[in-house]
Amino acid sequence: METDQREVELVGDAAVHRFARAALLAALLGAVAPVAIPLPFSPAPITLQVLFVFLAGLVLGPVWSAFSMVLYLIAGAVGVPVFAGFNAGLGVLFGQSGGYLWSYPFAAALIGLFVHRGTDVRDPANVSLPVVVTALVAATTLIYGMGSAYMSLILELNAWEAVTAGALPFIPGEIVKIAAAIAIVRSGRLSPTRVR
């Protein structure tokens, strides 16, 4: 066996810290995939994955939140059972709900850019409420827009049919998730150094 004689190039302390958080947030996104909270008067229960996409953007900033989401997608694609229903495989990313999954990195980065205004992460509790709400609504629109558009493309549905199947049933749940995310931000427990 040949010997590799290059010098060891250590990863910087700050990068290790952010990387570990991004990796565990991606794992958390997989861990909450089976959790469903029933919602009165709605056919679709709340799943927590989109809430964690919001939290990734809010707490990790645009770069590392997008990295975390890409990691989640790649891990699912290579066979770690992180997608809804303990599923995995590249096929899920090209299947009927692939559009939602592909949108996660963009949605998390969008929230990060809105809330942190750059790559330096700041405490989301210090950001004005309208900015946080706009960021969350924009991200939700992006997720459901990409999800429905991809579904209409892949299942040869027209736009209205795709929105009926892929977005309308989830609106009540999304409002609840946006409310939960805002309550978490306002509680001041999401500081970049420590989440309590």
Partner 1 sequence: MLTYVPDDTLAHRLDPRSKLAVQLGFAAAALTHTGPRAILVLSALAIGMLAAAGVSPIRAVIAARYALVILSLAPLLAALTLGPPWIETDAGLTTALASYRVLLVLLVSTAAVRSTRVRDSRAAIQRTIPGRPGHLLGIGVALLFRFLPVLRADIQTIRDAMAARLGAQRHAHERAGTIALLGLSRAFDRADRLSLALRARCFAWNPTLPPLSFSRLDIPALLLATTLLCSTLLTTIPL
Find the binding residues for partner 1 in span 120-149 (CB under 8 A): none
The answer to the question of residue 196 lying near partner 1 (CB under 8 A) is yes
DSSP state of 169: G
The answer to the question of residue 109 lying near partner 1 (CB under 8 A) is no
Find the binding residues for partner 1 in span 5-24 (CB under 8 A): 6, 8-11, 13, 16-17, 19-24
d(CA 128, CA 122): 12
CA distances from 174 to 61, 68, 85 (A): 21, 21, 20
* CA dihedral sign, ordered 9, 15, 20, 24: negative
The answer to the question of residue 84 lying near partner 1 (CB under 8 A) is yes
Return the structure tokens found at 31.
């861990």
Q: Where does this chain touch partner 1 (CB under 8 A) — which range of 84-92, 101-109, 119-127, 139-147?
A: 84-92
Instruction: Give the one residue of 112, 136, 174, 177 binding partner 1; rule: CB under 8 A.
Output: 177
d(CA 42, CA 130): 27
Find the binding residues for partner 1 in span 44-83 (CB under 8 A): 46, 48, 51-52, 55, 59, 67, 70-72, 74-75, 78-82
